[in-house]
């Protein structure tokens, strides 16, 4: 069978599966729409949580980032998995015991204020909408390459599929669909990794193959990769850092607490019957997540090595990598390069007119490149193609390539559905039901939830088709927004009984404003040109070299500080709120506690 036919077959079969599950598990009440009726098994919820949490960023982008960042790319592994552990151990059990299945609902009761709930809704919407841009982009990239359609058509198709199973199924449909999506995405990620690890090292376990010797050579994969990238002017793969150590630390911190504050993941812990089940499902989710996250470094290193081996065949022949006449003849480039060139994510410019591809770091200014007649790097490779193109680069069977296409789509759609539900519940339950129309019937609330989700899908599609100026790094920015706004208020709400509504609201507002200002100043958004606006804060990465994607960690610290100071100069929470906070931290019992209600 041809690759195109197999891809249509495999991806089409997964779509049919997702829609079939949604029809079978469609939501008939608000309880089923928001929290799947609260009766999901911990193992099932763990698998669904893993799929919900592992977005297109995890499946498509993370290994590509690590492939180019090397050792420094480990900040994504540490930040995202560390954040999940933080959420599972420090937040989820207490929030589950509290019994409010959305973050704004928790804020309304804990901070005895509708204003606190409304502020949380704003923060949630900003983080979720920013995050969903990356998911729609991932859908467009995957469809454009593997289904032979335009990027725009790919996004339209993704919107249609999500609409079918998310709007009608709600959390109940999404939960069981995400279980299927996890099975698809983890198979699509690990099977090619096993093939490629065995090809390169003779070891079928990628995690072990990463440190094993190359077949027929007395040198490990990582040592050989270090030789190759340094010869071509790149930093040493096993020691490279993204900027300063301070930036790496803050970036990791931002990703970690941002992960712990993601509302679409927190809501999943309300789909199980008890607090004990919430803890169990968190543990299972970490196991399922760990399978992909321990495989990612191997995928990254092997893909980087295979890419260089393709473009610089001298690697395999033992000839000098940097020499006159070195590099791959463009006319002899493999079919996978031709296919990716069509998408625009891979491009070549013959700067020295020799008909060969010179792929190296021309920023290194090493005189050996000029001596070889090279006049600049000629190959541009979008990092998002590394995982998707990896099986093609390694010449794996067509069915493996088709499976990877289905996995990329599954990863993007699973997280998009979770984000859309978080947005829907914030609008229908937390804004309409709790603030503006308190006497709304369950039937009308369910209708409002479905309509708001449909509207969110349209907005997500629009942003995917017309990404804003800060679209690069949107996923990291989304985690930074959650870190600077939602996480501190959650932590203080659970572990500081004296934190009042004025402190929480002020902290969220300051954290969100400062972070967005720093991000927008670097991206040149709104009314100023980039260079003029940058002048207001002293230049790019002006705050101790910290990048915009990492600044959420600084915003979070300012959130904590502002909330603490304001709470010292404003009235403390009522006695019954302080007692409620004490009760929610009581280890024994799993019954929900009650608050004072937002007012």
Give the separation between CA 370 and CA 329, rounded to whole angstroms: 19
Q: Is 347 helix (H, G, I), strand (E, B) or coil?
A: strand
Residue (of 227, 224, 202) closest to 215 by Cα position: 202
**347 has which bridge partners?**
380
At 380 the three-state DSSP class reads strand
Instruction: Express each pLDDT in 31-65 by its tens digit.
Output: 777 776 677 889 999 998 888 888 777 888 888 88
Is 572 exposed, middle or buried, given 0-12, 13-18 or 19+ CB atoms closer than 10 A?
Answer: middle
3-state DSSP assignment of residue 213? strand
Helix 398-425 × helix 442-465 angle, to 10°: 130
pLDDT of residue 256: 94
Distance between CA atoms of 64 and 150, rounded to whole angstroms? 22
**Residues 501, 111: contact at Cβ < 8 Å?**
yes
Predicted TM-score of the model (pTM): 0.84
- Please tell me whether residue 544 adopts helix, strand or coil conformation: coil
Rounded distance, CA 125 to CA 131, Å? 10
328 DSSP assignment? E
Identify which of 302, 295, 255, 243 has the alpha carbon closest to the alpha carbon of residue 72. Answer: 243
Tokens of 14: 């997964």
Q: What is the dihedral of CA 364, 369, 374, 377, to 10 degrees?
A: -30
Instruction: Report which secondary-structure segment, H or E, holds 501.
Output: helix 501-523
- Beta strand segments in 400-511, E: none
CA–CA dist 352, 369 (Å, integer): 12
Q: Which residue has the tokens 């991206």?
A: 523
Of the candidates 237, 242, 243, which has an alpha carbon nearest to the alpha carbon of residue 308?
A: 237
The pLDDT of residue 36 is: 66
Tokens of 317: 């022949």
CA–CA dist 254, 264 (Å, integer):
18
In degrees and rounded to multiples of 5, residue 206 shows phi and psi of -55, -40
Q: Return d(Cα 598, Cα 400) in angstroms, integer.
A: 53
CATH architecture of 3-305+394-433+443-478: Up-down Bundle (1.20)
pLDDT value at position 155?
A: 84
Which residues are CB-contacts of 447 (< 8 A; sequence separation ≥ 6)? none
| Helix, strand or coil, per DSSP, at residue 348 | strand
Spell out the per-residue pLDDT of the chain, length 599, in tens: 777 888 889 988 988 888 888 778 776 677 777 776 677 889 999 998 888 888 777 888 888 889 988 888 888 899 988 888 888 888 878 888 887 767 888 899 999 999 999 999 999 988 888 888 777 777 777 777 777 777 788 888 888 887 777 777 777 778 888 899 899 999 999 999 999 999 999 999 999 999 999 998 999 999 999 999 999 999 899 987 777 889 899 999 999 999 888 888 888 877 888 878 888 888 899 899 999 999 999 999 999 999 999 999 999 888 999 999 999 999 999 999 998 888 788 999 999 999 999 999 999 888 999 999 999 999 999 887 888 888 999 889 989 988 988 898 888 788 888 888 888 888 888 888 888 888 888 888 888 888 888 888 888 888 878 765 444 456 777 888 999 999 999 999 999 999 999 999 999 999 999 998 888 777 654 434 444 444 445 456 667 788 888 899 999 999 999 999 999 999 999 999 999 998 887 755 445 455 444 44
Residue 569, class by beta-carbon neighbours within 10 Å (0-12 exposed, 13-18 middle, 19+ buried)? exposed
Largest CA distance in the chain: 79
**Residue of 101, 96, 124 lying closest to 423 (CA atoms):** 124
User: By the 8 A CB rule, do 102 and 435 touch?
Assistant: no
Ranges of each domain in the chain: 3-305+394-433+443-478, 311-392
In sequence order, the β-bridge partners of residue 348 are: 379
In this predicted model, what pLDDT tens digit does every residue of 91-146 receive, in sequence order? Answer: 878 888 887 767 888 899 999 999 999 999 999 988 888 888 777 777 777 777 77
Q: How far apart are CA 453 and CA 473, in angstroms?
A: 25
Cα(444)–Cα(90) distance, integer angstroms: 35
């Amino acid at each position: 069978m041809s690759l195109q036919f197999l891809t249509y077959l495999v991806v089409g079969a997964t779509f049919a599966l997702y829609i079939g599950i949604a029809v079978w598990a469609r939501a008939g009440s608000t309880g089923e729409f928001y929290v799947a009726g609260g009766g999901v098994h911990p193992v099932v919820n763990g698998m669904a949580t893993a799929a919900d949490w592992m977005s297109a960023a995890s499946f498509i982008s993370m290994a590509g980032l690590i492939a180019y960042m090397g050792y420094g790319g480990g900040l994504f592994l540490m930040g995202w998995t560390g954040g999940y552990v933080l959420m599972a151990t420090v937040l989820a059990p207490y929030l589950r015991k509290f019994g409010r299945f959305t973050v704004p609902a928790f804020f309304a009761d804990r901070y005895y204020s509708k204003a606190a709930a409304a502020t949380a809704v704003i923060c949630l919407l900003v983080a979720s909408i920013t995050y969903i841009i990356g998911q729609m982009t991932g859908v467009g990239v995957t469809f454009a390459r593997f289904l032979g359609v335009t990027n725009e058509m790919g996004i339209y198709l993704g919107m249609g599929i999500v609409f079918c199973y998310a709007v009608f199924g709600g959390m109940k449909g999404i939960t069981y669909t995400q279980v299927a999506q996890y099975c698809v995405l983890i198979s699509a990620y690990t099977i090619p990794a096993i093939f490629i690890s065995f090809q390169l090292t003779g070891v079928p376990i990628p995690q072990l193959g990463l440190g094993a010797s190359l077949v027929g050579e007395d040198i490990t994969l990582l040592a050989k990769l270090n030789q190759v990238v340094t010869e071509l002017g790149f930093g040493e793969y096993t020691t490279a850092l993204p900027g300063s150590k301070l930036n790496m630390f803050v970036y990791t911190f931002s990703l970690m607490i941002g992960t712990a504050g993601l509302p679409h993941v927190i809501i999943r812990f309300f789909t199980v019957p008890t607090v004990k089940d919430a803890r169990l499902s968190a543990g299972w989710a970490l196991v399922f997540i760990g399978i992909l996250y321990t495989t990612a470094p191997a995928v990254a290193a092997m893909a980087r090595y295979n890419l260089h081996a393709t473009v610089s065949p001298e690697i395999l022949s033992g000839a000098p990598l940097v020499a006159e006449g070195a590099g791959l003849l463009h006319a002899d480039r493999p079919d996978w390069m031709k296919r990716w060139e069509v998408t625009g994510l891979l491009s070549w410019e013959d700067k020295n007119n020799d008909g060969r591809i010179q792929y190296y770091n021309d920023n290194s200014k090493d005189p050996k490149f000029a001596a070889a007649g090279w006049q600049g790097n000629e190959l541009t490779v979008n990092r998002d193609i590394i995982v998707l193109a990896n099986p093609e680069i390694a010449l794996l069977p067509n069915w493996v390539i088709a499976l990877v296409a289905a996995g990329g789509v599954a990863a993007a759609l699973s997280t998009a559905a979770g984000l859309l539900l978080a947005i829907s519940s914030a609008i229908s339950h937390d804004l309409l039901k709790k603030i503006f129309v308190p006497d709304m019937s369950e039937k009308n609330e369910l209708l409002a939830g479905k309509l708001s989700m449909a509207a969110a899908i349209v907005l997500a599609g629009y942003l995917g088709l017309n990404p804003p100026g800060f679209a690069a790094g949107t996923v990291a920015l989304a985690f930074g927004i959650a870190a600077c706004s939602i996480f501190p208020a959650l932590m203080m709400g659970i572990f500081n009984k004296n934190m009042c509504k004025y402190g929480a609201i002020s902290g969220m507002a300051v954290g969100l404003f400062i972070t967005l200002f720093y991000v927008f100043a670097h991206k040149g958004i709104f009314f100023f040109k980039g260079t003029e606006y940058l002048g207001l804060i002293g230049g790019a990465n002006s705050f101790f070299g910290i990048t915009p994607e990492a600044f959420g960690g600084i915003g979070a610290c300012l959130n904590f500080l502002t909330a603490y100071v304001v709470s010292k100069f404003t009235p403390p929470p009522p006695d019954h709120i302080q007692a409620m906070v004490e009760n929610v931290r009581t280890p024994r019992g799993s019954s929900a506690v009650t608050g004072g209600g937002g007012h």
